[in-house]
Homo-oligomer: A and B are copies of this chain.
Amino acid sequence: MKTIRIVIIEDDAILRKGYATILGKVEDYSIVNTYSSFDDARKSLESDDPDVILLDIELPGLNGIDAIPIIKKAIPKTHIIMLTVYEFEDQIFNALSNGASGYLVKNTPMPKIIDSIREVRDGGGPMSAHIARMVIKSFQKNDLSPLSKRETQILEMIRDVKNRKQIADELFIDPETVKSHLKNIYAKLHVNSKSEAIEAARKNRLI
């Protein structure tokens, strides 16, 4: 059973020490260092060589989300779990697309945090329940779409940067038919170009 090396970056001293104390008591967990800002942590990333970093978002100096790419560049194999009060979609998706492997909200009970560290090391993606649902929802479309099935399908192909002829060929219809559908799509979305249609459709999760 290999020890899991953990670094905590959290500006709240009470939380930081609390996490460190409790996690340090887990048999195969080792708190290699704790920091109150990423700026402090930055120069010691390689020497700390953590398996898992618990990372807050709201930090003095560089914020946690912007810190992720720097961490991944310095120590790519390290798993980053966000541990934060923020539950805004933007922050969640930015954290994940920047390279975080987990996302926990701060009222997460300690046993779940403890499990999450092992889970992320073992190839899992620990998330708070609510966060996981938001992530799943991001794959789903709005079921109150004004667009018909065919229109949705064609708009998705426009999104994939295909032109009318390519779409026509794939759907075995005439390019003029595609054009007609596009006219109807533009009318329904109150736009008059491909890019505007995509923007409107994305905003309303129609595609």
Interface string of A98-136 (1 = CB under 8 A from B): 011110000000000000000110111111011111111
What are the interface flags for A119-161 relative to B under an 8 Å C-beta threshold, 1 for contact and 0 otherwise? 1101111110111111111011101000000000000001111
For the complex, what is the distance from the CA of A102 to the CA of B136, rounded to whole Å? 8
A72 x B143 contact (CB < 8 A)? yes
Cross-chain contact B129 with A195 (CB below 8 angstroms): no
Interface residues of A (CB under 8 A from B): 72-73, 76, 93, 96-97, 99-102, 119-120, 122-127, 129-137, 139-141, 143, 158-163, 166, 194-195, 197-199
14 contacts between A and B (CB under 8 A): A96-B140, A97-B141, A100-B136, A101-B136, A102-B136, A122-B129, A125-B127, A125-B132, A125-B137, A126-B132, A132-B132, A158-B161, A160-B198, A161-B198
Given contacts A72-B143, A97-B140, A97-B141, 7 further A-B contacts (CB under 8 A): A93-B139, A124-B132, A124-B133, A125-B127, A127-B132, A127-B136, A135-B136
